[in-house]
Structures are given as structure tokens and as C-alpha cells.
Amino acid sequence: MDRIRIRGGSTLNGTIPISGAKNAALPLMIAALLTDDTLTLENVPHLADVEQLIRILGNHGVDYSVDGKRLNQRASGGRTIHFTARAIVDTTAPYDLVSKMRASFWVIGPLLARMGVAKVSLPGGCAIGTRPVDLFIEGLKALGTEIDIENGYIVAKAKDGLIGNRYVFPKVSVGATHVMMMAASLAKGETVLENAAREPEIVDLAACLNAMGARIEGAGSSTVTIQGVPALAGARHRVLPDRIETGTYAMAVAMTGGDVTLQGTDGRLLDTALRALTEAGAEVSEAEGGIRVRRAPGRLNPVNVETQPFPGFPTDLQAQFMALMTRSSGVSQITETIFENRFMHVQELARLGARISLSGQMARVEGVEKLAGADVMATDLRASVSLVIAALAAEGETTVHRVYHLDRGFERLEEKLTACGADVERISG
């Protein structure tokens, strides 16, 4: 099993290209199920989750092809992948596939919309807490779906097609908003989604669906209106930059000091996180084709943050920011409001010398003058990269084990950090 060895103490200087967003690419890929034409996606990151979803879509009959290299193409430019669901050959998403990636559950919306039936395994547990599918079920019921749960599977039927309706999400859910937008695109009549998620990835999916012929208005606000259409066509769409990767590398620069341009990204996608970073003592400015992050040597300022749905502080940057605060000059408080079990990185950060105490969903982080390298274990995707950030500033050598978590969401992480002066090495086996 691969692991990553990091020798801390180096500042980061140079340019880091930002990949396409995993959290946008996955629902965009699933949208290919809505049409028998070809959906072409540009800037698709090379990640374990993307490869797994390709296998899942293949089970439903989706063919795909990947463009080869082009003259003068940047290695960081992402892949162009063509998805064609000429015929849906299987409307069942089995447990052995869905259990490996929760986002694969989202196929239930397009399968229902196009085929009138779907049998999808319940996704099971999750390392960062339970993420129930009741919002998906109730939303699809509002569109006229009959749903039963049989032997761990959701069996959904809409024999006469989906019917547009008004649905108010009891709580904000990015995944449920994705699914409802896709399903309602082929429903009869108008669907109005209220208390919808506002994340940039929602806006990106809506833009792609509209390019395919959908009629969606209001994406990015809490009310989204969809006028159903009889069929969708193919389209070409570019995946937006990964705001979580952007924030992660920005925090790595703030942690180590240095001067790095994050290329191919947009600071507006994570304004709240960048403001917190500025409060901590980093300097963030616009740069041509991206943003520039700089910080002089010295201790960081303590900053309190609370995770919230967009446009609030992202839960997917909570672990990284906690790692950053371990080197602050005071005490900071980090409150997690999205997931109930997203502090599993705390014990591993403590192995590096961090002082963190937990009280329910709040972590109290007392900054220390130095961290020391140690062996640590990744527990989930975002927790794993928080350990990398801490290790970059730790004295001595740190080895991060179980880095397959990193491979799910960070493309060529060690290569990007090494190019900016970090001492990072992947060890296979």
C-alpha cells in the first residue's frame, strides 16, 4: 500500500496548476445518462473516484473515450472524456459498486427520468458520518415516484414518467439538489426546488444541463426552477476549477511561507475561506489566470471558523484549516456543522505535536511553536491532506499511510508540491 514521505521545513515558491473539480466532474459524468447523444467533458481530473464512476456508468451501458495528448497541451490541463449512453442496458446499481463511492447513488435521478425505473443500492456508512438518503427519496416522491426499500436496495418506479412539482428541501443538500435537477430536467411540467444548495458545482451542473437543452433558472440561489423537456441532447462542457484543491494549496503556502501562484482557478469560488486565510496572516491577491498566495515567515494569527453550506466556510476545508491553526500564535475554535464525525484527523495531528481538544462539534486548537514528524494514518480524503499540510511545517520526517484516500481527490499532489520546493516522495508497496 502506497505511503507518502514528507521532510518538513521548506517554503513553497512557484506555480501550482489547479485541476478540474472532482465534486463537479462526478455529477456531470452522471448527467450523461440523461441523453443518448454524446456528452463531452473537458478538464476532467485523473482521480480514483473518477475512474470508479466510469466503471459504474459502464455497468449501465455508458461507453467512453479519452482524447489523447494534444500539441502544446499542459499536463495539468485535465482530460477530455466523451460519454455516450446510447442505450441504458441495466437500471440496477449494485451494492459492490455503490458501496465504494457514495456519489454513485446519484444515478437514481437520471435512470428514473430516462427509463422510469431504477434499483440502486443504499450507499451504507461513511467514515465522516452518516449521510442519509431520505432527502433524495422524498424529493423523488414529490415528482411522482413510487419507492420501496427491498433487501438494502431502493426500488424506484415512475411508470408514466416524472411529474414536475414544488419541493422544499428540509435541509440543504448538494447531492439531493444535483439529483433533483437532473431528474426534473426530463419531468413533465415545472419543478421548483426551494432551500436548494448554492454551491458552484450546482451552477456548473445547471450550465451543462442547459447546454444539453434543459431549461433551468436560478442555480446558485436557494430557489431553482426547472421546466421539463421531452429529451436532452449532447453537449460539450468544461469542468470548473477545484475550489477545495485551491484552498488546500493556499493553506499549504500559508503554513510553510513562500509565494505561490495557483493557476487556472477563481478566488470567487471560495471567498469565505480566503478571507479566513487573510485573517490568519496570508496575503491573497488576484493573478493572471488565478490567484497568488504569499506569507512571510513567523507565527500565524488564530482565527475561528464555522463550517456552513456555500457561501460559508466549506466543510471540505475544515481539516486543512485546523492543521494550519496548529501553528498559530494563540487559540482558535473550529466548529463543524455539516457532518457529525469529521474530526478523526485530530488524533493524527496530535501525533505531530498539535494541541487540540474536542467538545461536541467544536475543536479548540492551541497553537504550538513547532510540530515534529511522525508516522500518521489517513482516515478520509480531506483528513489525509490536512496531515500533509501539517507535515510540510513539521521538523523532521513524516510518513502518511493509507494515501489511497488522497488519490480519490487530489491529482498529482506530490508532483505539484515538489515542483514548488517541498520534499515529498511517494513510496510504493
Q: Which residues are annotated as a binding site for UDP-N-acetyl-alpha-D-glucosamine?
A: 102, 131-135, 171-174, 316, 338
If phi > 0 it is left, if psi is from -120 to 50 it is alpha, else beta; for residue 224 that is beta
Question: Residue 8's closest CA among 400, 403, 404?
Answer: 400
For 402, the grid coordinates are: 493509507
Considering the candidates 87, 126, 149, 427, report the single residue annotated as catalytic: 126
User: Residue 283 forms beta bridges with which residues?
Assistant: 294
Q: Report how far apart the first and last C-alpha atoms of the chain are (Å, whole number).
A: 5
Binding-site residues for phosphoenolpyruvate sit at 22-23
Give bridge partners of residue 287 from the DSSP assignment.
290
| Residue tagged 460539450 (cell numbers) | 236
Residue 126 is a catalytic residue? yes
> How far out from the chain centre does Cα 407 lie?
13
* H or E segment to which residue 7 belongs: strand 3-7
Question: Residue 395: exposed, middle, or buried by beta-carbon count in 10 A (0-12, 13-18, 19+)?
Answer: middle
Instruction: Measure the CA–CA gap between 65 and 47, rounded to whole angstroms.
Output: 16
Asked whether the beta carbons of 411 and 45 are under 8 A apart, the reply is yes
Tell me, what amino acid is at 244? I
Reduced to 3 states, what is the DSSP secondary structure of residue 328?
strand
| 115 to 107, 111, 186, 240, 383: CA distances (angstroms) | 12, 6, 11, 29, 39
Rg (CA), the chain: 22
Are the C-beta atoms of 158 and 112 separated by less than 8 Å?
A: yes
Q: For residue 148, how far is the Cα from the chain centroid?
A: 30
Which residues fall in the annotated binding site?
Answer: 22-23, 102, 131-135, 171-174, 316, 338
302 upstream amide cis, omega within 30 of 0: no
The cell for 197 is 444548495
* Residue 162 DSSP code: -
What are the residues whose beta carbons fall under 8 Å from the beta carbon of 297, sequence distance 6 or more?
Answer: 11, 257
All three cell numbers of 56, joined, read 459504474
Instruction: Tally DSSP H helices, then E strands, for the chain.
Output: 14, 24
The grid coordinates listed for 156 are 424506484
Question: Which residues are catalytic, by number?
Answer: 126
